[in-house]
Amino acid sequence: MTEPVTLADHERLAQERMDAGAWAYLFGGAADEITLRDNCTAWQRLQLRPRVMRPLSGGHTRRTLLGRELAHPLLVAPMAYQRLAYPQGERASALAAAVMGLGYVLSTQASVPLEEVARLAQGEAARGPLWFQLYLQPDRGLTRSLVARAEAAGYEALVLTVDAPVQGSRDQERRTGFQLPPGVAAVNLPDGVAMAAGGPGLCGGLAEHAPTWEDLAWLRSVTRLPILLKGITHPDDAHLAVEHGASGVIVSNHGGRTLDTLPATAALLPEVVAAVAGRVPVLVDGGVRRGTDVLKALALGASAVLVGRPVLHGLANAGATGVAQVLRLICDELEIAMALCGCRTLEDLGPALLQPRP
């Protein structure tokens, strides 16, 4: 194979290039990886019911999200330590997303300074929104400092991850004995900030610092940025998120990396959309490998879709160029699928386009 033409091609080539330990960390899942696999197959189980003879002139995939217009309803999901895949890491993936006019979410555990990523992305006039993903730190002063840095650098929203108070049981990592190599670190956090296990309480004391609704209230009090909650899987939590002032929710099972046997996000999305009832945007990630997957998510009520692992596959293959190709493939496939389903704009998408596979 000389040139990848699908996301699956990028995945195969990336695995050939990468160290086994880095591959296990970036692409492995929790326990038996049931949720990891189901995230992909759940989109495939949904079949499309296209309409024909509909006007398509002037069609587009634009969408406004939190006051910003995106050329396509896609963002790059937050992913840690991207320099494991490619030396330029988040520099390359953020630049590719910006050039494509798509949104980008930088992880708290990025391996490149958040200010540098922001400068690169902001150099592209047609870029999409730039958001900062946040893990609440036990030290509120450190959290406040991260938020202040993100605001000063020009990030436009905070994405608070709420579904990972402790790390999942990731067998692939343990089998390879994965450790971060020299030179790769969470450079936006002080050295030694990670908490050591072994203390009293649940999970060696780590669960003492799990985020709560009170923490969300505090966070809202120290920032002017909108806050989206990432990791919402239950409709009751979606309702509570809106009641507590979240500006959006992201349906996510952490890519199958935390709690195994959670349902796929395609299965979880409709109930969350119903619970939110249009009050705030609902986004979704997990298992997206085709433009048709994006179309299905939008038809189920998502405002936009975050793409994770495929971006890292492209990054490992060819840096920013590889990421741009992955994103271009998804966008092109989305446009093709919309035209073939008789949908001129995203507003034409709805549940009537879908049926479960028998």
Any alpha helices (H) in 154-277, and if so which ranges? 171-176, 213-221, 235-243, 265-276
Mean pLDDT of the chain: 94
pLDDT of residue 1: 52
pLDDT of residue 165: 82
- Residue 195: band (very low, low, confident or very high) from pLDDT cuts 50, 70, 90: very low
pLDDT of residue 196: 40
Per-residue pLDDT, averaged over 314-323, amounts to 97
Per-residue pLDDT, averaged over 253-258, amounts to 96
Q: What percent of the chain has pLDDT over 90?
A: 90
Would you say residue 30 has pLDDT above 70?
Answer: yes
- Residue 288: band (very low, low, confident or very high) from pLDDT cuts 50, 70, 90: very high
pLDDT digit string, tens, across residues 136-190: 998 999 999 999 999 999 999 999 999 988 888 899 999 999 999 999 999 999 9
> Is the sign of the CA dihedral 215, 107, 247, 351 positive or negative?
negative
Would you say residue 334 has pLDDT above 60?
Answer: yes
pLDDT of residue 209: 74
Maximum pairwise Cα distance, the chain: 66
Residue 254 among the catalytic residues: yes
The alpha carbon of residue 255 and the mean position of all alpha carbons in its chain are separated, in whole angstroms, by: 9
Catalytic-role residue among 10, 72, 239, 254: 254
pLDDT of residue 3: 85
pLDDT of residue 357: 82
Q: What percent of the chain has pLDDT over 70?
A: 95
The dihedral over CA atoms of 283, 316, 116, 132, expressed in degrees to the nearest 10, equals: 20
Per-residue pLDDT, averaged over 306-321, amounts to 97
pLDDT of residue 197: 41
pLDDT of residue 217: 97
Would you say residue 202 has pLDDT above 90?
Answer: no
β-sheet bridge partners, residue 130: 104
pLDDT of residue 201: 55
- DSSP 8-state assignment for residue 196: P
Would you say residue 90 has pLDDT above 50?
Answer: yes
| 235-243 vs 265-276: helix crossing angle, rounded to 10 | 40
pLDDT of residue 356: 87
Matching residue, tokens 């309480």: 201
